[in-house]
Amino acid sequence: MNQLHISVKNKSVIIQEFKVALSEENINLKTLRELCFNGIPFEGGIRALCWKILLNYLPLDQTVWESFLKKQREVYSQFLKEMIIQPGIAKANLGLSREDVTLEDHPLNPNPDSRWNTYFRDNEILLQIDKDVRRLYPDMAFFQRPTDYPCQLILDPQNDYETLRRRVEQTTLKAQTVNRNRSGVTNVSSPGKALNLYPSNEYEVLPNGSEAHWEVVERILFIYAKLNPGIAYVQGMNEIVGPIYYTFATDPNSQWKEHAEADTFFCFTNLMSENRDNFIKSLDDSQCGITYKMESVYSMLKEKDLELYLKLEEQNIKPQYFTFRWLTLLLSQEFLLPDVIRIWDTLFSDLDRFHFLIVVCCAMLILIRQNLLAGDFTVNMRLLQDYPISDVQTILAKAKDLRDNS
């Protein structure tokens, strides 16, 4: 009983420490980082607020927050208008006024810079995003549930335009109903069948006027892809935006929660500006690319546990077989969502967050060293593909230990 009382007391003491740190007019980032490193409380929206500061979204000067947030959220609304609503209106209007459609604006215009070419290219990206966000955390009901704050701009009945939802349905329908066989004859499958676009276990589309959380995530990723054509969308980005959006959209503080979409977009963009090199193929072998980071896990292991390093080398278990996913997706696939969020508290609070991620990966290997030393190639690959330890506190404590003793 006494032990329980202490842990509850500790929790309230910790929450109080965070409240004090966050009440400063000018937030002391060093103090906040130290607090966050050991885990951030969810209560009172503390975690969501700390992430916004740690991901360099909110300025340290609290007096400017109100005007800053107002401006950022207006900027995001502008993105929605320019990149989703206006192209959608143009597409909806195409069928209405045939006589004034110039060649330049015609969907069949072969010019690669034409508006329609961009529209069709965007559709390919949109379909890939759609497929991935529908699978986001399938074991949790959250992403399939309707958001309490559907985007009014998007759902406004005054805007008669082709929504992203409609674009996906139209494009998928076309792809499914027209099916060429080898002899060049076109088989058009019955539209009835084609309407069942997704297997029943994938996310259902909600009725008009409401939207599911996964649709909000889809919109964030689509806007990001439009604004960053050099990288656009790469599979796996959905796994990075998911936990950020979940954290902001479950904020107990409703005036923050209401703006989860815009705030997630900017925090995700900031995080990707540090992590995007992992997603760019041409940089794979450069010092900032993913190959270098994967090899860094092994060079650290060699220094910390030579015996284990030699065992993995001898079995020809290369770091890219498992650390590619660990590093690129910030461990979001290796643990349950609450544990991923707890790991990210520590990662985000570390000044050199991506170096600390390498230390965490090294700690994960050392913690299962006995199993790895005893196992053959197949057993060990299975261990690394499906990591056996679920207690992330143990992993983070080991990583801190490795870092402090380096």
**Which of 326, 246, 223, 233 is CA-nearest to residue 276?**
233
Query: Which tens digits make up the pLDDT trace of 145-156?
Result: 999 998 888 887
**Which of 342, 387, 131 is CA-nearest to residue 238?**
131
Share of the chain above pLDDT 70, in %: 79
**39: helix, coil or strand?**
coil
Q: What is the Cα–Cα distance from 87 to 100, expressed in whole angstroms?
A: 17
Q: Give the per-residue pLDDT at 397.
A: 96
Query: Which tens digits make up the pLDDT trace of 302-346?
Result: 999 999 999 999 999 999 999 999 999 999 999 999 999 999 999
Residue type for 110, please?
A: P
- What pTM value is reported for the model? 0.86
**Which tokens is 90 given?**
């143009």
Q: What is the mean pLDDT of residues 343-367?
A: 95
Stronger pLDDT, 231 or 199, i.e. the higher one: 231
Q: Give the per-residue pLDDT at 97.
A: 43
Is residue 378 scored above 70 in pLDDT? yes
**57: helix, coil or strand?**
coil
Mean pLDDT, the chain, as a whole number?
Answer: 84
Is residue 108 scored above 80 in pLDDT? no
Query: Which tens digits make up the pLDDT trace of 221-243?
Result: 999 999 998 889 999 999 999 99
Is residue 389 scored above 60 in pLDDT? yes
Is residue 192 scored above 60 in pLDDT? no
Q: How confident is the model at residue 203 (pLDDT cuts 50, 70, 90)?
A: low
Q: Please, what are the domains in the chain?
A: 1-55 (no CATH), 65-96+106-172+206-276 (no CATH), 281-405 (1.10.472.80)
H/E element holding 271? helix 260-275
Is residue 3 scored above 50 in pLDDT? no
Question: Is 18:40 a contact under the CB 8 Å cutoff?
Answer: yes
